[in-house]
């Protein structure tokens, strides 16, 4: 997601996750290698907003510097897979994403996975859910940020009407370039009848294009 030149790429193997609080008041980054676990919190002790500083731009660079220092002479190594676990190729029946390598408990691998529900399900918007708050990431170029508007039960000609803008809804939904503010998404059929309605909000500011 963040590319090869990001604060999440350490000298050796590591698993890492960032987080940003509501209104970007503070952020964190936690990751581990085969020998060390490092957690970093960045914020104001009085709770004031960090001013559009996310986990990637705030805590992650500190985490990377500490993790690389700890592994100066010995890069982190990928941990051994525990007994009773195997990997296998898997994909969804709906082909909503490419086939990928997945981890399973031994003997439970399923090469094809079926999503709950089907075409008989009432068409509805499943993402964003009602009341969702989406935070823009100032460290990702605007042209690379998209919100996947997801639809369930889409079997015919449907449109997602977002703030009076019509987006063609495939069985997997539609992609939308986010902009700040409150938004209303409607799922409508070919006759213009409203099938579902979701209100959500986008917060934060986009960084400059690259």
Q: What are the sequence ranges of the domains in the chain?
A: 15-70, 81-115, 124-203
Cβ atoms within 10 Å of 49's Cβ, excluding its own: 14
3-state helix, strand, coil in the chain (%, to 5): 10, 40, 50
Averaged pLDDT for residues 74-79: 90
Confidence grade of residue 137 (pLDDT, cut at 50, 70, 90): confident
Which tokens in the block code for residue 37? 């676990």
The two structure tokens encoding residue 123: 């068409």
pLDDT in tens, 196-206: 999 999 998 76
The whole-number pLDDT of residue 33 equals: 94
Instruction: Kindly report whether the global pTM for this prediction surpasses the value 0.85.
Output: no
Distance CA(209)–CA(174), nearest Å, equals 22
Distance CA 88, CA 106 (A): 10
- pLDDT digit string (tens) for 108-120? 887 777 666 544 5
DSSP 64-84: HHHHHHHTSSS---PPPPPTT
Q: Does domain 124-203 have CATH number 2.60.40.10?
A: yes
pLDDT band at residue 96 under the 50/70/90 scheme? low
* Res 28: pLDDT: 93
The neighbour count for residue 73, using CB atoms within 10 Å, is: 5
């Amino acid at each position: 997601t963040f590319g090869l030149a990001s604060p999440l790429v350490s000298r050796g193997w590591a698993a890492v996750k960032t987080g940003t609080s509501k209104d970007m008041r503070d952020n964190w980054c936690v990751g581990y290698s085969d020998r060390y676990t490092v957690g970093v919190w960045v914020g104001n002790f009085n709770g004031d907003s960090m001013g559009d500083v996310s986990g990637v731009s705030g805590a992650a660079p500190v985490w990377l510097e500490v993790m690389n220092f700890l592994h100066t002479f010995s890069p982190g190594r990928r941990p051994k897979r525990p007994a009773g676990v195997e990997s296998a190729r898997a994909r969804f029946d709906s082909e909503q994403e490419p086939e990928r390598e997945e981890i399973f408990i031994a003997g439970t691998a399923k090469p094809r996975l079926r999503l709950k529900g089907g075409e008989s399900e009432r068409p509805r918007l499943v993402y964003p859910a009602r009341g969702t708050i989406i935070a823009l990431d100032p460290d990702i170029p605007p042209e690379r940020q998209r919100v996947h508007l997801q639809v369930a039960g889409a079997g015919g000609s449907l449109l997602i009407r977002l703030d009076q803008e019509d987006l063609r809804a495939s069985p997997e939904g539609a992609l939308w370039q986010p902009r700040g503010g409150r938004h209303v998404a409607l799922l409508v059929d070919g006759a213009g009848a409203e099938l579902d309605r979701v209100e959500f909000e986008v917060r934060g500011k986009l960084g400059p294009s690259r």
